[in-house]
Each structure stands twice: as structure tokens, then as C-alpha cells.
Amino acid sequence: MASFILFLIVMKLAFFDPIKNIIQTREKAIAANLSKSHIALGKFGESAENENPVHIIRKSRLEAQEIISKAVSESNKERQEMVNRELKNIKNNTGKGVIELEKETRGILMNLDEHVAQLSKEALNKLMSELNAHATA
């Protein structure tokens, strides 16, 4: 019997007391975390009451519409700038093209005038030579 009592005392000192201390430490930590979670839940409940899901959805939709309208306006602005830039390029190229066409037209007309004058001389010479040939005949 004495050995059994001695065994219980040794077990209490070596095994049960450390386990009891670990259990008490864990219970204190759990109680502290539980109180913190109750405080956080209370704060969340207050904020959830203040922010109705319908209001949150409306707010999100408005923000989304603002983002979309901003993106659309920026793209329209960029598109208009690109169109204006291309129109300027077209006008510049068209102006240069018209000037080149006018130069070519003048050159062609001058060549045509020279060619017509030369053909007229040849025709006149041929006609004169035929008239001279008929007059002498």
C-alpha cells in the first residue's frame, strides 16, 4: 500500500502537475482569444449594421460606372487625337501630291505643246511639199 501511495505522489509531481499547468495555460489562452473574438464580432456587427449590402452594391456599381466612363472618355480622347493626327498627315500628303501632280501636268503640257508644234511643222512641211509637187506638176 505504501508503494502505491508513493507511486501516486511521484506520478502527481512528475506527470499530473505539468499536464495540469499546460491545460490551465491553454484554457487562459482560449479565454483571451474568445474575448478578443467577441470584441471583434461586436465591431463587425456594428459595421455590418451601418453598411447594408444594398448600399454596398450600389456604391460598387457607382464606382464601376465611374471607372467605365473614365476609360471610355480616355479612349475617345485618344481616338480623336489619332484621327486628327492622321487627318493632318493626309492633308500634308494631299497637298504634296497636288503640287507634284500640277508639276507633272505642266511638264506634260509643255511636252505636248512642243510635240504639237513639231507635228504641226512636219504636217505643214509635208503639205507644202505636196502643194509644191502639185504646182510643179
**pLDDT, the chain, mean:** 82
Direct distance between the N- and C-terminal alpha carbons of the chain, in angstroms, rounded to an integer: 176
The pLDDT value recorded for residue 88 is 85
Amino acid present at 80: Q
Average pLDDT over residues 65-69: 90
DSSP the chain: -HHHHHHHHHHIIIIIHHHHHHHHHHHHHHHHHHHHHHHHHHHHHHHHHHS-HHHHHHHHHHHHHHHHHHHHHHHHHHHHHHHHHHHHHHHHHHHHHHHHHHHHHHHHHHHHHHHHHHHHHHHHHHHHHHHHHHHH-
Residue 102 scores a pLDDT above 90:
no
Average pLDDT over residues 70-78: 89
Residue 48 scores a pLDDT above 60:
no
**Which triple of cell numbers denotes residue 111?**
511636252
Average pLDDT over residues 33-43: 85
Q: Cell match 512641211: residue?
A: 125
The pLDDT value recorded for residue 45 is 64
The pLDDT value recorded for residue 39 is 86
Higher pLDDT, 49 or 2: 2
- 43 confidence band (pLDDT: 50, 70, 90): confident
The pLDDT value recorded for residue 29 is 93
Higher pLDDT, 98 or 74: 74
**Which triple of cell numbers denotes residue 71?**
476609360
Percent of the chain with pLDDT over 70: 90
Question: How far is residue 92's CA from residue 65's CA, in Å, rounded to a whole number?
Answer: 40
